[in-house]
Every structure is written in structure tokens, then in C-alpha cells.
Amino acid sequence: MNNWISTSEKSSFLKWFLSAHQLKHKDAKMLIEYLLKQHPILENLTFTNSLKLNEKTIVISSMQSDQPGFIYYNGKRKTEDISKALGDLMTNPADKVYILLHFYGKQANPRYQQLLEPSTNYFVRHKQFQEYSKETNLLIEKALIEQEIKNVREQIDAALDQNDKQLFIKLVERLQELKELEKKQHT
């Protein structure tokens, strides 16, 4: 599920981002302008919506964001010094780099959303859905068994009132089967 994004799409978006948003950290504009001029870095640049620990990640925020203006993560190191980030990018232009942008309206911005790497959250949510679905099915099955037990008990009472021994025996057997099913559910 690899979502390939061309360097021209990345470049176009970053240019739009610079023109549409005022950045908290003025030198972050210089970093983005450097990225725009470096085709190898743009090729290996991946837009993300979550912080990538232990990866090279650039975090840049606009003035409307409550996030820090600039942070650069390189493995376990973290810096707010743009010159260190630039130095690392210049010496290692072929390394994979993630960029996380914080700006007002990013969740509703279709251009930005198209650039984002495919989310692994989909798989996590799918797995959670399967678990919830399984739990829900068990609850429904339990409720149906409880309802059937209630109905069988009412039928047993009616069979006793009518002195219908055959129906009574048949219903008691059915009640025992349902009780066994109920026990299996609890284990």
C-alpha cells in the first residue's frame, strides 16, 4: 500500500504552504526553501501526521498552531536549531526524512491529506472493529439465549398449568440445552 507522491506535488504544496501561512519560526521558511531546491531530499521526503520517533523528522508549525515552531528529530536526538537540521540534510541528502506540518485547517485540506503517508491507524482501527464486532456478537448471542430461556420457562409454566407431561419434558430438555449454551459462553 505504498502511496507514491511526485516531487512536483510535494514542491507545489510546500510553495503553497509558505505563501498561505506565516511560520512561527522565521528560519523554518529558509529550511523549506532549501528542501524545494534539493530534488534528492524531496524524493525522500514523506509527509506524515504523526511524529516518527527514531526517524529523521522535521516539525514545522504556522502561527495559528499551538505546537512548537520548529523541531528536528534525528534518531534519538532532538533540536530546535535549524542550522543543525540543515547541516544534517546537506550531508545526508539521500536519507529518508519525514515532515510534520502544523497549520490551521490541515485535517480538511485535501492537498495535504493526499500527501500524507498511508496510515497504519486504518489497520489498528480495523482490528479494533473486529474485536468489538466479536464482543457485540457474543452479547447479542447471550441476550438471545437469555430471552429464549425466559420464553421456555413461560412455556414450561403453561405446560404445567395444562398438565401436558410430554410438552413439559420436551421443554425441560430444551431449557437444559440452553443452560449448557449459556455456561459455554461464560467460559
Task: Quick: pLDDT tens for 108-155.
Answer: 888 888 888 765 555 656 677 777 788 888 888 888 999 999 999 999
Does the reported pTM lie above 0.75?
A: no
Backbone angles phi, psi at 43, to 5 degrees: -60, -35
pLDDT in the model for residue 155 = 94
Measured CA to CA, the distance from residue 180 to residue 187 in angstroms comes to 11
Higher-confidence residue of 60 and 5: namely: 60
pLDDT in the model for residue 53 = 78
DSSP 8-state code for residue 76: T
Q: Residue 116: beta bridge partners?
A: 47
Average pLDDT score over the chain: 87
pLDDT for 94 beyond 80? yes
pLDDT for 4 beyond 80? no
What's the rounded mean pLDDT across residues 70-98?
A: 91
DSSP 8-state code for residue 117: P
pLDDT in the model for residue 126 = 66
- Strand ranges (DSSP E) for 44-141? 45-47, 57-61, 70-74, 77-79, 97-102
DSSP 8-state code for residue 4: -
pLDDT in the model for residue 1 = 40
Task: Quick: pLDDT tens for 33-58.
Answer: 999 998 889 898 988 888 887 889 99
Integer Rg of the chain from CA: 31
pLDDT in the model for residue 3 = 63
